[in-house]
Structure 1
Amino acid sequence: MSVDSITTDGETHGFTMEVDADGIVSYDLTEAESADSSVAGSDAADSLTPTTTAGDVTLEADGTDGDATDSSEGAEVAEVDAAAAPGACSDGTYATKDQKEYGTYNWYIGDGGLPAGMSHDDAKWVFYDALDAITQSYNNCGYSDQVDVNKANYLSKTSYEADINTSSQCTDRDGLSTWDGGNLKNGVVATTCSWTWPTPGVKNDLREADVRFNIHDYDFTNRVTSSCSNKYDVRSVGTHEAGHIFGLKDIYGSHSNLTMYGNSIECSTRARTLGKGDVLGLRSIY
């Protein structure tokens, strides 16, 4: 199990715990880690039947405790933002987790609040874009897609919620990989919780990964314009969280030009597309 949170202050909020087949428990609180180049393995069906628990009660009803619907006024600034970060194409920094999706990442959208006041249908395509940026190595640096990663597949809307509590901690998994909005620890913009099966000799096999945006404390937008103020770009944050799902860890220091930088930047779309380090990190896994 691992929990990864993108924050407003750049502080480290990562934790990984592993239980080996022989029952030995290990954990990792560090951020620096060499890349694990092992790629063998196969995906196994998840037989867990979703069940609700006290912690699974959806905190936000439809359309409440979320952002106001985005205004269509003003031109988006994605191209300007990308041009302002040429260092992304020369910075090869990355870190990886002991985690890999060997099959297809099947995901759902919860029925509670969503970032930027998006409708369920709009959120589906925005989250698809974020996941595709990882699985297809979208970048502005000219790097070809050499990542042999299987597709992410949207299944449906669900009454289940992301298994993440208000302290940005992972709760018991329910068998569904759910994306939603809710209340997280103040200072945390979004959190991803991942559960894996131990796979000796290779990276652990991803079983479930949930993503929650903190719509209780922060505002989001899907249209970053010149008038943007105090809002986080949904696709940038979503792409960062998708990176965690497919095995990338946060990086810190002077690497704000990369998607996996651990500090979310207001009104910035840089993380929508990958930098050199993001691409190399994925290539090291897949």
Structure 2
Amino acid sequence: MVVAFAVLATVPGIAGSAQATTQGSNGTAVCHLPEQGPLSTEDLPTGSSVLACAAVGRVVTYDGAGVTVPEPGTTVSVDVLAIDGEAHGFSLEVSTDGKVSYALTDVGADSSTAGTDVPDHLTNPTLTAADLSEEADSVDADASDVIADGEAELAEVDTTAAAGACSDGAYKTADRKEYGTYQWYIGDGGMPGGLSRTDAKWAFWDAIDNITDSYNNCGYTDQVGAKHNYLGTTSREADVNSSNQCTSRDGVSTWDAGNLKSGTVAIACSWTFPMPGIKNDLLEADVRYNTTDYNFTNKPTSSCSNKYDIRSVGTHEAGHVFGLGHVGSGHQNLTMYTNSFTCTTKARTLGKGDVLALRSTY
């Protein structure tokens, strides 16, 4: 989808409250944004200036998700794991001169991966916004993960209606790569499955390892150079709120759990440094599980009922962190399928397309 940009005129077909750029009396551009509430991609269209429009810090929404307009020289992306089997998410890039552009699908425009890691240029880190995303330490929104004695964990199996994981080479990548080492923390509040922070650390670690080590049962060796490092716990929270909006980033990559829109199992917010002609360099990536509407388990068994596997969901989200996009209908056996299934561990194990996607980037 291409978003139109009008110069010196009102954008055709957009309501009067929408953004338009007009010529001021002194020859400067004058922006007209709604004074309150989220903006649409038509309010702040491709080519407009976040500086002239004073749009930094405003929220832009698209397809049920949103991002907070970042400072110039930053791209922000939101990826939603939803129960409807559809891909939801988009990216908003602000060039160093303040100009806006969008990627409204998760296919990256840049394919070259020959870049280098750049220092994080965040000069004014923010704390977690005072919104409904916060959960107190004493609140455990997800039931504790109690496993009956003697119950065995479910085996990793393919979905019979879809192509086998090892024969399905479908994949998509985003305009994003971790050129260095992904440094991450565990955030504040309750964890999925009612896990302790220590147990959550190992569950998240294993999920991220599944991506960085190309864990699969298809015989593919690990040829992926992606790296990660756990740095500990933090009082910070993932920079995402209950409206599925990426808030202003705080410079800390955080995994946690909390309140998201119903229909959303988990969400990843990523911020990158734009690198024209090659994939953008990852600056920060936060992941949140929706423990308000859904229950999670770290060990699905035969008695599992309507619980999502923590490590399967985590492996999918880690895929987004390291630049993988969604694949849709017919590819249910791949980790990066748009939906996550309850009471199964199969998404912990990468399929052919998942491995090929990582190899194409790393």
TM-score after normalising by structure 2 = 0.74
Alpha-carbon shift at residue 29 of structure 1 (Å): 1.7
Q: 1:272 aligns with which of 348, 353, 356?
A: 348
Residues in 1 aligned to 2:205 and 2:83: alpha-carbon distance in whole angstroms: 24
Which of 69, 77, 89 is matched with 2:144 structurally? 69
**Counterpart selection for 2:166 from 89, 94, 103:** 89
Change (3 A) 1:258 1:27: same
Long gaps (5+) in structure 2: 1-75
Q: Quote the residue 2:193 is aligned against.
A: 116
Question: Amino acid of the residue matched to residue 167 of structure 2?
Answer: S
Q: Do residues 2 (structure 1) and 84 (structure 2) align?
A: no
1:193 corresponds to 2:273: no
> What is the 5 A alignment of 1:116-195?
116-149=193-226, 151-195=227-271
Structure 1 residue 50: Cα displacement: 3.9
Q: Deviations over 1:213-260 (max 9, x none)?
A: 000000000010001111000000000000000000111111000000
**Cα distance between partner residues in 2 of 1:15 and 1:55:** 24
Q: CA deviation at 1:37?
A: 3.8
- In 2, distance between residues paired with 1:226 and 1:69? 17
Distance 1:228 1:11 in 2: 25
Q: What residue identity is the alignment partner of 2:114?
A: A
Q: Does 1:46 align with 2:123?
A: no
- Quote the Cα distance in structure 2 between the aligned partners of 1:71 and 1:266: 16
- Residues 1:105 and 2:179 are matched in the alignment: no
1:17 aligns with 2:92: yes
Measured at CA, do residues 24 and 204 of structure 1 come closer, stay the same or move farther in structure 2, by a change above 3 Å?
same
In terms of Rg, which structure is larger?
2
Equivalent AA in structure 2 for residue 205 of structure 1: D
Letter in 2 for 1:209: A
Structure 1 residue identity aligned to 2:91: T
- After superposition, the C-alpha distances for 1:32-62 in whole angstroms (9 at most, x for unaligned) are x378541111112225364325347862122
Aligned-residue sequence identity (percent) comes to 65
Distance 2:243 2:110 in 1: 30
SS at match of 1:194: strand
Query: Aligned partners of 2:305, 2:249: CA distance in 1, in Å?
Result: 35
State how far apart, in whole Å, the 1-side matches of 2:174 and 2:228 are. 19
Normalised TM-score (structure 1): 0.93
Specify whether residues 285 and 112 from structure 1 end up closer, same or farther in structure 2 by C-alpha distance, changes over 3 A only: same
Kindly indicate which of the two structures has a greater share of residues assigned to helix. Answer: 1
Deviates more, 1:8-17 or 1:106-115: 8-17
Distance 1:35 1:200 in 2: 9
Alpha-carbon distance change, 8 to 243 in structure 1, aligned in 2, over 3 angstroms: same
Alpha-carbon RMSD: 1.9
Structure 2: distance between partners of 1:275 and 1:20: 35
Equivalents in 2 of 1:277, 1:55: separation in Å?
40
The amino acid across from 1:16 in the alignment is S
Could you say what secondary structure the match of 1:259 adopts? coil
User: For residues 172-218 of structure 1, what are the alpha-carbon distances to aligned partners after superposition, in whole Å with 9 as ceiling and x for unaligned?
Assistant: 00000000000001100000000001112210010000000000000
> CA 1:24/1:11 → structure 2, altered by over 3 Å: closer, same or farther?
same
| Greater Cα shift, 56-65 or 115-124 | 56-65
The higher-RCO structure (CA 8 Å, 6+ apart) is 1
**Aligned partner of residue 246 in structure 2, secondary structure:** coil
